[in-house]
Structure 1
Amino acid sequence: MRPYSSHRLFAIVFSLALHAGVWLLAIGYQFKYVSPAETPKTAEKIVYLELIPPPSQPLPDPAPTTTPPTTPITAPPPDTALAAPAPAPPPSPDSPRASQAAPPPPTAEEWAFAANYTNKNSKGYRYSWGQQVRSMMGSAVEGPDQGLVRFRIEIAPDGSLAQLQTLWTTSPVAEQLARQAIQNMPPLPPTPTGKPLIFDKTISFSPFASEGPPLYRDDCLPEPPVFRNPFAWDGLSPQLVAAPTPTAPLDPQALADCLRQLPKDSVEAESASDQRLMDQWGSSKTGR
């Protein structure tokens, strides 16, 4: 073997041994378990407790016990075994009840306006007629006699009653009082158009509701189209989809006559209109 070959072999063996040693040291350092340092122990302190009994005292003599006499339990008679509890007493008749005085009848000026107002099927005449009836019915008191009654009325051209029909009612007393007031009404002015006036009217005889004056500012606007179900069908006639009929606006002359009759709305009319909206739509839509 040549001399330089042995040196080369020695260098390779020495390099392998050196790498092996470094690898062994790295493994021993990485995976060596290091135990935590022991915490210094504190000296334990032992405390001894001694229980001393209380001084002895003589016990009092027990009181004599008596057994109460036993009463035999007997079943109730068959008639009263399932008897209902006594009913609650009725409310005191002396408790105050809500009431509302009758409104004043229409004045001569209000009747004069109603006798000449032709818009909206004589709107002012219809309101004054209902106010006159309600004022003659007297005060409304909370209780079973309060309620509503709706009539269909026909007024002759001279202002006299031509026909009276009850459509529905929630109180026979309210209907009787309203009919009595209608029969005893004073002479009324002629109808504004000089023709029979036919309308439906609801009279409220209640301490919690009152009809205020109407608003007249929108009476010259065209009537909104009446909604009719376009898909309604009787099953016999040809099935057709009905289109809504548009409302024609007033001609200039009729519009001018209508605007000439419009009065100035009062604060009471505005308040009554707001109250009707509140009663119609309720708190969920108006914030009340």
Structure 2
Amino acid sequence: MQHERDKPLLAIVLSVALHAVALTLATQYAFGVPKQDAPPPDEPIMVVEFLPVPEVAAPPPQTTPITTPPPVQQAITPDIAVASAPPTPIDPTERAPITMDAPPAPSAQDWAFAAKYPLKNSKAYRYTWGQQVRSLMGTAVEGPDQGVVRFRIEIAPDGTMTRLETLWTTSAAAEQVARQAIARMPPSPPTPTGKPLVFEKTISFSPFVTDIPPIYKDDCLPDPPSFANRFAWNGHGQPGQAETPTPEPGESMAMEDCLKLLPQDSIEAEAAHDQRQLEQWGSSKLGR
């Protein structure tokens, strides 16, 4: 029974103790009683030891093989024309000059035929005379001494030259060589007509020009008529009609006798004759 009566007293004591503890805590908080913190735990100490770096042998240097790059090919454009440099002019002193040997002298047969051919103002005699002069002039050399000279010649019936006149020349040296050759000519045969022979002859002393043999096949035909004003007056004497020219020996000769005098033309003469006709009368389109 007594134990029953002590329970309320124990509850009061416990209640008073709890309130005292709560009052103590509230008092410490209100008056700023510092709260003691717990000491920090011990931190571990780390010791770092640096060891020396071992020496390592350097690797040998790597050599890269040297390769030659392939040649660069330049693209060729076929549509674009590349202008070439102008050709270098050739110095004429760097090469040997062009020369032409003198033609052979006329043979005795050539002079025998020329002395008996009266047609066309003794055509064969005039050609043979010029060939004799050119053969005595010697070799023609390219240079300042080359040239052309034209003479007017008169030959007596016995073959003696009685007149030599220079009409024009392109080289004084060529004229001098021609005159020296004429002075050394052997005696010429008598003229075919038995009369003085007057003619003009061009002598070429050049390595690029030769005297072309004449054509005889048309010598029996009369010359085509040439225009001339027969009423023209030169101012001397009385005006009147011009005289009719005297016919050549071949024109008064019978055709059969004339044809017997004609020789056979050479191939060189035929080719030269055709070339002259083409240059004189041919069209310019034919040469293209």
The bucket for the TM-score relative to the shorter chain is: 0.5 to 0.7
1:273 Cα deviation (Å)?
A: 1.8
- Taking the aligned partners of 1:277 and 1:287, their CA distance within structure 2 comes to 13
Q: Determine the structure 1 residue equivalent to 2:228.
A: 228
Q: Determine the structure 2 residue equivalent to 1:146.
A: 146
Superposition pairs for residues 1-288 of structure 1, below 5 Å? 91=91, 93-228=93-228, 250=251, 253-277=253-277, 284=284, 287=287
Matching residue's letter, 2:198 = I
Q: Is the 8 A contact 1:151 1:202 kept in 2?
A: yes
| SS of alignment partner, residue 256 of structure 2 | helix
1:254 Cα deviation (Å)?
A: 3.0
Tell me which moved more, 194-203 or 230-239.
230-239
Matching residue's letter, 1:167 = L
**CA, structure 1 residues 109+209, in 2 after alignment: closer, same or farther (shift >3 Å)?**
same
Q: Mark the runs of 5 or more structure 1 residues left unpaired by the alignment.
A: 1-89
1:94 Cα deviation (Å)?
A: 4.0
Tell me which moved more, 96-105 or 124-133.
96-105
1:195 Cα deviation (Å)?
A: 1.0
Count of residue correspondences: 198
Q: Is the 8 A contact 1:224 1:247 kept in 2?
A: no
Matching residue's letter, 1:206 = S
1:151 Cα deviation (Å)?
A: 0.4
| SS of alignment partner, residue 153 of structure 2 | strand
Across the aligned residues of Structure 1 and Structure 2, the Cα RMSD in angstroms comes to 3.3
Matching residue's letter, 2:186 = P
| SS of alignment partner, residue 166 of structure 2 | strand
- Taking the aligned partners of 1:193 and 1:239, their CA distance within structure 2 comes to 33
- Taking the aligned partners of 2:192 and 2:283, their CA distance within structure 1 comes to 39
- Taking the aligned partners of 1:218 and 1:235, their CA distance within structure 2 comes to 38
| SS of alignment partner, residue 271 of structure 1 | helix
| SS of alignment partner, residue 179 of structure 2 | helix
Q: Is the 8 A contact 1:127 1:213 kept in 2?
A: yes
**CA, structure 1 residues 281+148, in 2 after alignment: closer, same or farther (shift >3 Å)?**
farther
Tell me which moved more, 209-218 or 271-280.
271-280
| SS of alignment partner, residue 93 of structure 1 | helix
Tell me which moved more, 220-229 or 195-204.
220-229
1:232 Cα deviation (Å)?
A: 7.1
Matching residue's letter, 2:106 = P
Q: Determine the structure 1 residue equivalent to 2:30.
A: none
- Taking the aligned partners of 1:209 and 1:269, their CA distance within structure 2 comes to 15
**CA, structure 1 residues 262+285, in 2 after alignment: closer, same or farther (shift >3 Å)?**
farther
1:229 Cα deviation (Å)?
A: 5.9
Q: Is the 8 A contact 1:148 1:171 kept in 2?
A: yes
Q: Is the 8 A contact 1:115 1:189 kept in 2?
A: yes
- Taking the aligned partners of 1:236 and 1:158, their CA distance within structure 2 comes to 35
Deviations 1:190-242 (A, max 9, x none): 111111111000011111110121110000111111223689788999999x9
- Taking the aligned partners of 2:263 and 2:98, their CA distance within structure 1 comes to 35
- Taking the aligned partners of 1:235 and 1:143, their CA distance within structure 2 comes to 47
- Taking the aligned partners of 1:199 and 1:179, their CA distance within structure 2 comes to 16
1:277 Cα deviation (Å)?
A: 3.8
Q: Is the 8 A contact 1:225 1:247 kept in 2?
A: no
**CA, structure 1 residues 250+189, in 2 after alignment: closer, same or farther (shift >3 Å)?**
closer
Identity in percent: 64
Matching residue's letter, 1:227 = F
**CA, structure 1 residues 238+139, in 2 after alignment: closer, same or farther (shift >3 Å)?**
same
**CA, structure 1 residues 237+127, in 2 after alignment: closer, same or farther (shift >3 Å)?**
closer
